[in-house]
Amino acid sequence: MKPSRLTAALVAVSVFTAFPALGQDRYGSRPPVVLSPDLAAPWVMQLRPGRSIAGHSVRSNARKVLFERPAKPRQRSLRTVQPQPVALRARNNPQPANPGIDPIYLPQEVAYSGPEKPGTIIVDTSDRFLYFVQPNGTARRYGVGVGKEGFSWSGSEKISRKAEWPSWRPPAEMIARERKKGRILPAYMEGGPQNPLGARALYLGSTLYRIHGTNQPWTIGQAVSSGCIRMRNEDVTELYARAKVGAKVIVR
């Protein structure tokens, strides 16, 4: 065999025997990759903030994330609110808390020994009583409200007329006087429960004075009027039925 052919045969045999080894190398463990410290150092140092590499300061851009503990929910303190008392009063006629009157001023049958004839009305302004003289030495006594200081009067008059649920025209002097106190009176008011003259009125002669009811029954027994004699509505209604027009009225 010629040398050239022998050489070619040897090369073919060596290549054939080498291929199985190369195929097995794929599945074998490869040797570790070793880098030069000069190449690895810059990359490793970037993972360590605050270190310097070759005279340069490396800063980490990673932000620190702080996880805060969730705050406890605030507990609200509940305060019990006590309802405040509400003072109720009438729109036009405020009343005191206790609108009652002293029982002594309620109607009573009493003994009477005066000289006046039955049917006569006598008003005692000092004791706040009105007497309707009856037969057999008796009288029907009622509590009344009388004129305040400076407005009281005395004398004798006769009942000139009577009216049920009378209307009211305050005199000009009263309107001016009350305006100074901050109270505005109407020039005219129809009769009714809110009218100061109340349920009935007995007019005395040609004067401005009357025996009348009231929308303020708690004032009975007091000196609060402008000179008129005021009674509870139920009492003046009773007197209205008994007293006659022309009857004598004596105010002491």
pLDDT, one tens digit per residue, over 94-119 is 444 446 789 999 999 999 999 999 99
Q: Which two tokens stand for residue 55?
A: 């005279």
Please determine, for residue 217, whether its predicted confidence score (pLDDT) is greater than 90.
yes
Give the number of other CB atoms < 10 A from CB of residue 230: 28
Name which residue leads in pLDDT, 98 or 131: 131
Name which residue leads in pLDDT, 232 or 19: 232
Of residues 200, 212, 230, 232, which has the active-site annotation? 212
What is the strand order of the sheet 121-124 is part of? 108-111, 138-143, 129-134, 121-124, 248-251, 155-164, 200-204, 210-212, 229-230
User: What percent of the chain is predicted at pLDDT more than 70?
Assistant: 61
Q: How far is CA 56 from CA 43, 45, 47, 53, 63, in A?
A: 13, 11, 14, 5, 21
Q: Which two tokens stand for residue 128?
A: 């706040």
Cα–Cα distance measured from residue 178 to residue 190, given in angstroms and rounded to the nearest whole number: 19
56 catalytic? Reply is: no
**What CATH topology corresponds to 103-251?**
L,D-transpeptidase catalytic domain-like (2.40.440)
Please determine, for residue 149, whether its predicted confidence score (pLDDT) is greater than 80.
yes
pLDDT tens profile 20-42: 544 455 555 666 655 555 555 55
- pLDDT at site 65: 45
Tokens 């005219």 locate to 188
CB 209 within 8 A of CB 227: yes
- In sequence order, the β-bridge partners of residue 57 are 52
Mean pLDDT of 199-216: 98
pLDDT tens profile 46-72: 555 554 444 444 444 445 444 455 555
Those residues with Cβ within 8 angstroms of residue 111's Cβ, 6 or more apart along the chain or in another chain: 137, 138, 139
Please determine, for residue 186, whether its predicted confidence score (pLDDT) is greater than 70.
yes
Those residues with Cβ within 8 angstroms of residue 239's Cβ, 6 or more apart along the chain or in another chain: 121, 130, 132, 140, 142, 200, 202, 211, 231
Cα 33 to the center of its chain, rounded Å? 88
238 catalytic? Reply is: no
Cα–Cα distance measured from residue 130 to residue 102, given in angstroms and rounded to the nearest whole number: 15
Of residues 130, 159, 211, 228, which has the active-site annotation? 228
Confidence of residue 76 (pLDDT cuts 50, 70, 90): low
Please determine, for residue 191, whether its predicted confidence score (pLDDT) is greater than 70.
yes
- pLDDT at site 100: 79
